[in-house]
């Protein structure tokens, strides 16, 4: 049984009054939604509030959920809209880079390929690349940042991103392309690549 089918069964149980089924959906998607919201709302406590608010909105709206899209696509859309509303009411824009970002970038796993080659130079280069990518993502306009995060971090398909962002799939492709180009531009000095090579 696929994730979507499992979610649909849980949604139907919630619609029939089973509150524990909703608890299972929350447990399944809380971390993913928190990761998504944290990209928009930089304050940890505020992001937690937004995630909680998104789940409350989802719970209240579930009686009208028809299953035209996957549950998590629908939930992510609610999460993004809740984060945008939160930022608008607080008149805040997410900062481009915080100390948390630097710490997060430094804790990137160097990966399987570097396991046997963890020289100090490679570790430093990996940290620099991680910090540069993170800073580049944070510096992107919101629509590009959301698209690239949904694609590269959350692993959503182009169709799912189009549903979450409520825009045509061509727009999603364009945003992801532009985001990748912007990130590649920031990485070129570190990787000594020419402009005609993306990575």
**What are 144-174's pLDDT values in tens digits?**
998 988 888 888 888 989 988 899 999 999 9
Pick the CATH number of 3-90 from 3.40.1280.10, 1.10.3720.10, 1.10.1740.10, 3.40.50.300: 1.10.1740.10
29: phi then psi, degrees, rounded to nearest 5: -110, 0
- The boundaries of every CATH 1.10.10.10 domain in the chain are 99-191
CATH top class, domain 99-191: mainly alpha
pTM value is 0.57
Res 61 pLDDT > 50: yes
The model's confidence at residue 137, banded by pLDDT at 50, 70 and 90, is confident
Predicted pLDDT at 173: 92
111: phi then psi, degrees, rounded to nearest 5: 90, 165
Measured over the CA atoms of residue 137, residue 42, residue 152 and residue 160, the dihedral's sign is negative
Average pLDDT on 72-86 reads 90
The model's confidence at residue 192, banded by pLDDT at 50, 70 and 90, is low
Q: Are 96 and 138 in contact (CB under 8 A)?
A: yes
Predicted pLDDT at 92: 44
Least confident window among 29-43, 48-62, 70-84, 181-195: 181-195
Count of residues in the chain: 199
3-state secondary structure 113-166: HHHHHCCHHHHHHHHHHHHHHHHHHHHCCHHHHHHHHHHHHCCCCHHHHHHHHC
- The boundaries of every CATH 1.10.1740.10 domain in the chain are 3-90
Q: For the chain, give the mean pLDDT.
A: 80
């Amino acid at each position: 049984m696929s994730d979507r089918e499992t979610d649909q069964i849980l949604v139907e149980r919630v619609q029939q009054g089973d509150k524990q089924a909703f608890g299972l959906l929350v447990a399944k998607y809380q971390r993913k939604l928190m990761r998504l919201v944290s990209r928009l709302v930089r304050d940890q406590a505020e992001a937690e509030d937004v995630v909680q608010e998104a789940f409350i909105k989802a719970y209240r709206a579930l009686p009208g959920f028809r299953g035209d899209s996957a549950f998590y696509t629908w939930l992510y859309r609610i999460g993004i809209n809740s984060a945008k509303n939160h930022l608008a009411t607080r008149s805040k824009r997410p900062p481009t880079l915080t100390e948390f970002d630097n710490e997060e970038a430094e804790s990137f796993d160097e990966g399987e390929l570097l396991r046997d080659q963890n020289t100090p130079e490679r570790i430093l280069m990996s940290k620099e690349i991680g910090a540069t990518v993170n800073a580049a993502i944070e510096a992107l306009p919101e629509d590009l940042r959301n698209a690239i995060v949904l694609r590269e971090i959350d692993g959503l398909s182009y169709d799912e991103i189009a549903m979450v962002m409520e825009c045509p799939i061509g727009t999603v492709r364009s945003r992801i392309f532009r985001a990748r180009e912007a990130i590649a531009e920031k990485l070129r000095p570190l990787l000594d690549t020419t402009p005609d090579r993306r990575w």
